[in-house]
Amino acid sequence: MLTREEVIQFLNKVEDPFLHRTLEETGGIIEVSVKEERKHVSIKLAIGKPNTAEQMQLQQEIVAALKRNGVATVGLRFDALPDEVIQKFQPADAQNQSIFGGNKEPHFIAIASGKGGVGKSTVTVNMAMALKRLGKKVGIIDADIYGFSIPDMMGVEERPVVRNEKIIPVERLGVKVISMGFFVEDNSPIIWRGPMLGKMLTSFFKEVEWGELDYLLLDLPPGTGDIALDVHELLPTCKEIIVTTPHPTAAFVAARAGQMALKTDHEILGVVENMSYFKSQVTGEKEHVFGRGGGDKLAEALKTKVLGRLSLQQPFEEEDVFAPSIYQEDHPNGKEFHLMAAKIIAQLEEE
């Protein structure tokens, strides 16, 4: 059975998979304890990028090496190195290259919700259209890997092409779109594990030729799962919009997604309350069919504001344009999205 000193001596020579320096150089060995009677070793390490596929590979290698040397069980935890340590040892090319593949980074805005069915994707496509109508160059990443719907909502019938080893996103109504739906045949179910999902999301940034963009919107899966965690890891400057319905219970669930954003230092731009009311065409009165107050309650809990409230109605029917979820510019909800987009531009471009 290894002693504590022997375990530390072994770990000192282990290399951080991102900084390519030993844990001794980075100070990445945080805790080591050995229980000889149980042949158990407990370790806490700090590396450049925890919660990644590379961390999992490193974990497997360390555990296997220790077990080959008489250890029965290993408890291994990871944390992130301090920013100053990462900056000190980070390779120069990694410092200079952004997640966006070296291009000038746009404003990243993630659209999140606590649960499905509240209109998160509807908000994504219409916010993108509103920003485009205000003269901005906009892209959408349909990061809802299991529930991709953006292509159908925008009436996209094309598929991306590959040019010079780069994926060219589909452009629809002036907005560039990439989605997992483009790479799945016959609407097949996706059965992937976390690290594979993270790699796909990274590919949507680095392997897609986005060109020049002012805004890139990410339609996140509902809740706080792997993709949401990857976004927080990959895009530390990403802002968020939280979508809810007026029902207080929906707002309570949505608060989880908002709290995750706050814990990872992602600024919340505001709350969008979807399906706020139904306006009768006969009487002109507003009927609050899904309750009231959810958006305000959520905004209060997250210490932010309600960006806008959307009525419960379909876009106008158009014979010449098939985009079933896009509200026209003169539609009441289209006007509401215009106001919300203008607020976002004013907030982000005045910073």
Residue 96 pLDDT exceeds 50:
no
Question: Residue 305: helix, strand or coil by DSSP?
Answer: coil
Amino acid at 215: Y
Q: Classify domain 4-95 at the CATH topology level.
A: GMP Synthetase; Chain A, domain 3 (3.30.300)
Residue 166, helix vs strand vs coil: strand
d(CA 7, CA 89): 24
CA 71 from centroid of its chain's CA atoms: 39
Give yes or no on whether 4-95 and 107-349 have one common fold.
no
CA distance 311 to 325: 14
Which strand (E) or helix (H) includes residue 196?
helix 194-206
CA distance 211 to 168: 9
What's the pLDDT score for residue 308?
Answer: 95
**DSSP, residue by residue, 133-161:** HTT--EEEEE--SSS--HHHHHT-----E
pLDDT > 60? residue 234: yes
* Partners of 73 in the β-ladder: 40
172 has pLDDT over 90: yes
Q: Which CATH architecture has domain 107-349?
A: 3-Layer(aba) Sandwich (3.40)
Could you report the per-residue pLDDT of 3-13, keeping only the tens digit for each? 999 999 999 99
State residue 223's pLDDT score: 67
Is 32 in contact with 43 (CB distance < 8 Å)? yes
Enumerate the domain spans of the chain: 4-95, 107-349
Is the pLDDT higher at 188 or at 137? Answer: 137
- Count of CB atoms within 10 A of residue 100's CB? 17
Please give the model's pTM, rounded to 2 decimal places. 0.69
pLDDT at 256: 75
DSSP percent split of the chain into helix, strand, coil, nearest 5: 35, 25, 40
Query: Is 346 a residue whose pLDDT tops 90?
Result: yes
Q: Which residues are annotated as a binding site for ATP?
A: 114-121
Assigned token pair, 308: 């806008």
Residue 350 pLDDT level (bands cut at 50, 70, 90): confident
Q: Which residues are documented as binding site?
A: 114-121
Contact by Cβ (8 Å): 147, 227? no
Phi, psi of 188, deg, nearest 5: -65, 150
Strand ranges inside the chain, DSSP E = 29-35, 40-47, 73-80, 107-113, 138-142, 161-163, 166-168, 170-172, 175-179, 215-219, 239-244, 268-279, 286-287, 306-311
Q: Is 86 exposed, middle or buried (0-12, 13-18, 19+ CB in 10 A)?
A: buried
The dihedral over CA atoms of 61, 62, 64, 70, expressed in degrees to the nearest 10, equals 160
Indicate the average pLDDT of the chain. Answer: 85
pLDDT of residue 50: 80
Residues in the chain: 351
Q: Is 28 helix (H, G, I), strand (E, B) or coil?
A: coil
Q: What residues does 22 pair with on adjacent strands?
A: 15
Model confidence at 229, pLDDT cuts 50, 70, 90, reads: low
Please give the single-letter amino acid code of residue 13: K
Which candidate, 201, 216, 217, places its Cα nearest to that of 103? Answer: 216
